Amino acid sequence: MKILVASHLEQSAISQLQQRYDVICAFDQPTADLSSLIRDREVLVFRSGVEITRALMDCAPDLKLLVRAGCGLDNLDCEYVRKRGIVLRRIPEPAAQAVAEMALALMFALARNIRQADAMLRRGQWAKETLEGHLVAGKVLGIVGAGNIGSRLGVLASAVGMEPIGCIADSTPAVVQTLRDKGITVADFHTVLAAADFVSVHVPLNDSTRNLINGRALSLMKEGSYLINLARGGVVDETALYAALATGRLCGAALDVHEHEGQGQISPLAQLSNVVLTPHIGASTIETQQQIGVRVVEIIEAFVQQSEQQSGHQSQHQSMTVARREVDIRVTTAALSDEMVRI
Enumerate the active-site residues.
232, 261, 280
Q: How far apart are CA 281 and CA 148, in angstroms?
A: 18
- Which amino acid is located at 341 in the chain? V
Q: For residue 325, which of 333, 313, 337 has the smallest C-alpha distance?
A: 333
Q: Which of 29, 54, 31, 96 is nearest to 66 (CA)?
A: 54
Rounded to whole angstroms, the Cα distance separating 61 from 233 reads 32
* Cα torsion angle, 143, 149, 155, 159, sign: negative
- Based on DSSP, count helices (H) and strands (E) in the chain, helices before strands: 12, 12
- Answer whether 204's CB lies under 8 Å from 169's CB: no
Would you call 278 exposed, middle or buried from its count of C-beta atoms within 10 A (0-12, 13-18, 19+)? middle
CB 37 within 8 A of CB 24: yes
* CA distance linking residue 119 with residue 275, whole number of Å: 13
The SS3 call for residue 194 is helix
Q: With contact defined as beta carbons under 8 Å apart, do 255 and 200 qualify?
A: no
